[in-house]
Structures are given as structure tokens and as C-alpha cells.
Amino acid sequence: MNTKRVVALIIAAVLLFFSIGINTIITIFKTDFFSSFDTMMGSGALTYENVIESGDFTERIANLKVDGVIQDVGEPSIWETVDYNHQAFLEQLDAVLKDETVKAVLLTVNTPGGGVIESEEIYQKLLQIKEEKQIPIYVTMGAMAASGGYYISAPADKIFAQRETITGSIGVIMQSINYEKLAEKIGVEFETIKSGEHKDMFGGSRPSTEEELAMLQEMIDESYEHFVDIIETGRNMSEAEVKKVADGRVLGGSQALRAGLVDEIGNEEAAINALRADYSLEDAELFEYTMDTSSWGLFLGAKLGSMFSPSAESQVLSKIISSTNSPRMMYLYGDY
């Protein structure tokens, strides 16, 4: 081996070592420092109050908003944002529960629904607010308040929908893709070692047996009946009345009014005016919980995030590794 080749190998080794070292330091720095930085500087689930309509601070109306698919996809960070922050919304409900000045809740719903578990968590928190604080909850529906969106609306004292609102879709869905034939076509074979006959059920690599479909249908039926019970209680309807429209169909605002699923046709302004008039809250302050997007923490976090954020390829790979396409029960209208 000549001298030039030895020198070239040494230089390559030094560059490789240097590259690995720098990447390791950056990874540790991002993981340890910025995870704490997110919390300290307000890029996590910290919320603030924003006054929408000034008024009596001792009698306030909290305007809570569910906008986006109801799923717990984790907390936002300086690296990425989330459309709907489930944990932050639960914290808002807890804040309402503890705040003596909150005398009513206006819940703005604009969602196709989402997870069965997440919808139930919101529903239970709303029930707790009604039972412990004895305050009214009014719902105003946006463009869509379907499936899980209706599930969380059901306990409200009064529901407003617009004529163009898409609501209903009462039911439960679970989906999986069976790609066995596609795999055969391109020459992919599955090798599965399992502890029990049904361990890979509904996993997509083979057709489900009748027995397995029956098992899953039993799960779906149980959640569906619970959904129907929620509406019966919240809307003071009989089981027969609910099941007339509880077959998964979507309804417009006027149809939902005729079916007894909503109380009035009107927008958010109509809902807040009715809430004020019905409970003598004409002078009450109206406020919402929001992120303080003007804070130095978020500004500095965004700048540092742009400097040290993972590459696009790394982010895609991370999502692939951390995500799962395992089927789950959903109160959801549309694709997921």
C-alpha cells in the first residue's frame, strides 16, 4: 500500500469519526436540552387565556374548541405542531372545573370525530363539569360535528348547528387492508410465528375467518350500544328514536333538527347570545384558552428548531418507525 493511499484512508477515518461525533452531540443536545426547553419556554401544552368579549370577570363563559380529528397524537414541540392537542384540551377542561369564575361553557365543535378512547375522555370530563359545577354547556357545531364530534356534543344542555353542518354518522368503525393478493402478485411471502391462532387476526396479511369477524363485530356492537345510550341520556330520546338515524348516516343541520339531535339552527353568535339570555349572563366575560404564540420561548424555539431540526428524511423515517397501522375502533366519519 503506497503512502498516498494510507494518508487518504487516515483522512477518511478522521472525517467519519468527526461526523459521527458531531451528529451524536447534536442528537443528545436536541433530545436532552430541547425536551426541557419545550416545557420551560411554552412550546408544549401550556395554555393562556384570551378575552373574546370583555365583561364581568367574576362571571365568565369559557369558549372551548375541538377542531380536528379527536386523537391523542402527542404534544407539539419546536420541531412540529399538531392540529388537535388532546392532552391540552383535557387540561382546559380541568381548568374550567377548578375555576370558580366560570359559570358556563360554550363548546365549539368542528371535527369528523376520532378515537373511541379520546372521545370518551372528553365526554366524561364534560359530565364531571356539569355534575360538580352545575353550570350549563352549550354546543355550537361548525362545518362538521360527526361521529365522535356528536358523541362529545350529546351531554350539552343545548346544541346549535348550521344548516350546512354535517353531523350524525353515529356508529363505530374499524378498518384494515388485506394485501395478501397484492403480496402474492409481486412475490412477497409472509412468514409468521405466533403463540395463538388469532394473534395475527385482522392484520392484513391474510383474510379474517368468520370466527374472527364475529369477535370484532361483538366489540363494535358493544361500543355502538354505548354510543346509543350516550345519546338517549343526553338528548332524552328513546332507543328507537336514536336508532332511526344511528345507522352511520350523515345528516345536515336541518335533518338533525328534525331527528331531535340538535335544538336550534344557528351559528356561534346565536349560540352565545342564547346562552347569555337563558342564564342571565349578559354581562359575563367570554374567553378562550390559547397558546401564547408571541412568547419569546416560541420565537427562540422556532429559530433554534430550524437550526437543529432533523432532516426531512429523518422525520419521515421517525414517523414510519413510531407509527402503527394496527386497526382500532373509531367514532369517525371519513378516512383515517
Nearest Cα neighbor of 171 from 64, 72, 250, 274 is: 250
Catalytic site includes residue 326: no
Neighbouring CB atoms inside 10 A of 101's CB total: 14
The letter for the amino acid at 241 is E
* d(C-alpha 14, C-alpha 78), whole Å: 33
- The single residue of 35, 54, 194, 199 carrying the catalytic annotation is 199
Catalytic site includes residue 295: no
* d(C-alpha 173, C-alpha 334), whole Å: 10
Adjacent-strand bridge partners of 70 = 114
Adjacent-strand bridge partners of 67 = 110
As given in the structure block, the three cell numbers for residue 287 are 374567553
Q: Which residue has the cell 352545575?
A: 134
* d(C-alpha 62, C-alpha 293), whole Å: 20
8 Å CB contact between 130 and 161: no
- The single residue of 43, 119, 147, 169 carrying the catalytic annotation is 147
Q: Where are the beta strands (DSSP E) in 128-216?
A: 137-146, 158-161, 166-168
Phi and psi dihedrals of 288, rounded to 5? -135, 160
Instruction: Check residue 70 and report its DSSP letter.
Output: B
* d(C-alpha 55, C-alpha 13), whole Å: 69
Q: Give Cβ neighbours of residue 218 (< 8 Å, ≥ 6 apart).
A: none
**6 by DSSP, 3-state: which?**
helix
- Residues carrying an active site annotation: 147, 199
